[in-house]
Structure 1
Amino acid sequence: MATLDDVRRIAVGLPGSEERATTGGAAWFVRHKLYAWECHPWPSMPEDVREIVAAELVVGVKVADSIDKLALVEMAPTVFLHTTTPWGEPKVAFRMAGIGDDHLAELVTEAWRIQAPKYLRREFDEVGSSSLRANSEGDR
């Protein structure tokens, strides 16, 4: 089962990422823009969702648009929650117990990309592609 430490491990490798404690729990920002967070059972959530968030670890991430959110919810409706709170859209929340390591890394990294400025995305891409080249050259 994925944990907040797994989110931390992913976030620490993203340029400009910083973790902050908020009233709802842990949250990750890039250049003062929220991209991932531990969900808290706010009164403004629908009651069924609030019960899930109160009972287990749920994390929210920014998504590119409502179509991406809908695709994730339809792909795994028992993992991705249909709604949480009305603010901060577009976003999606998911049950950490249902997320694999690779999918978690993809969700957190893509959320960071959505919020990060171009120069940080470029830095991340350059570092990632150069380390990818080094790894493939080492395989020869």
Structure 2
Amino acid sequence: MSTEDDVRRIALGLPEVTERTSYGTPAFYVAGKIFARFREEPGVLVCWCRDLGDREALLAASPQKFFTTDHYRGHASVLVRLSQVDTNELSELLEDAWAARAPRRLTSE
């Protein structure tokens, strides 16, 4: 099980990440681009994916952990139930989301 504190600790530990509000909830940005944010629904994280294929793979592999809504149709992001992912998996998800949105100068180091 992961918590919002885990999200914040992991996300802010990535290079050049800042936290600010998006849609009224805390969100995490790299180089001005959002890569994750807390959803209004407690215990749910919106997490960017590299592309729709990655999102679909997560949804198919673990529907108890990952889901989406009509609002995110066609968007390369997935909703994560924090209660269903451990901190190792959360770290991987956030690192992948960060890499999907970070500028090349940060990802190629």
Asked if these proteins are the same fold (TM beyond 0.5), I'd say: yes
The CA deviation at 1:68 is 0.8
The alignment status of 1:94 with 2:80, answered yes or no, reads yes
Tell me the number of residue pairs that the alignment of Structure 1 and Structure 2 aligns.
109
The alignment status of 1:6 with 2:6, answered yes or no, reads yes
Identity %: 36
The CA deviation at 1:79 is 1.5
Q: Secondary structure at the match of 1:34?
A: strand
Q: Which residue is equivalent to 2:94?
A: 108
Q: Which residue is equivalent to 1:15?
A: 15
Q: Could you list the per-position Cα deviations for residues 25-82 of structure 1 after superposition, in whole angstroms to 9, with x for gaps in the alignment?
A: 1100001100000012xxxxxxxxxxxx3xx410011101111111111111121113
Kindly report which structure 2 residues correspond to 1:97-136, keeping only aligned pairs within 5 A, or say none.
97-123=83-109
- Structure 1 gap ranges (5+): 41-52, 124-140
Distance 1:97 1:120 in 2: 30
Greater gyration radius? 1
Distance 1:108 1:88 in 2: 20
Distance 2:48 2:14 in 1: 15
- Structure 2 gap ranges (5+): none
Kept in 1, the 8 Å contact 2:26–2:38? The answer is yes
Structure number with greater CO (CA < 8 Å, separation at least 6) is 2
Q: Which residue is equivalent to 1:66?
A: 52
The alignment's C-alpha RMSD in Å is 1.7
Higher relative strand content? 2
Runs of 4+ displaced beyond 6 Å: none
Please give the TM-score of this superposition, normalised by the length of structure 1.
0.71
